[in-house]
Amino acid sequence: MHDIPIDHVMTPDPATVSPQSSAAEARRLLDSNVINHLPVVEDGRLVGILSSSDFLKLHLLDGKLPIFADATVSQIMETKVIVLRETSTLLDAAEKLSIGGFHALPVVDRKKRLVGMVTSSDLIGELVSRLDGQRAG
């Protein structure tokens, strides 16, 4: 796994939102795509990530936040994002996911443009596939 390129398992061109998108729009996008993480992109570059759990912030602040109904992605997204480079390997991804306790990581090029997403499920699927291949061989 140390030399397998990340693009072997990543989802290319994932669904994205902008910082100005409404939180409601982002929630619909998460639900309709059956995903838990949305990269936040502005002018083609990754500026944050939004996860299903970020919506807990809105629910916890409901009634305390006067703009609850009009919340934007920029108000609830995480801006300190750990990323993988497009030159990363599956081992790089596994290390970052396990050490950081993450379930998904954006993959970016050298200009911080989003090129894909990798999830822990992607890595587990690849591992299972390889183990099945070894067992059969």
Range of the domain at 95: 6-136
- The pLDDT tens digits for 28-59 are 999 999 999 999 999 999 999 999 888 776 66
Residue 62, domain member (yes or no):
yes
Q: Is 16 helix (H, G, I), strand (E, B) or coil?
A: coil
Structural domains of the chain, count: 1
pTM of the shown model: 0.85
- The pLDDT tens digits for 11-25 are 999 999 999 999 889
Confidence label for 1 from pLDDT (cuts 50, 70 and 90): low
Distance CA 20, CA 5 (A): 33
**Residue 44 phi, psi dihedral angles, 5° rounding:** 80, -5
CATH of the domain at 122: 3.10.580.10
Confidence label for 129 from pLDDT (cuts 50, 70 and 90): confident
Compute the mean pLDDT over every residue in the chain, rounded to the nearest whole number: 88
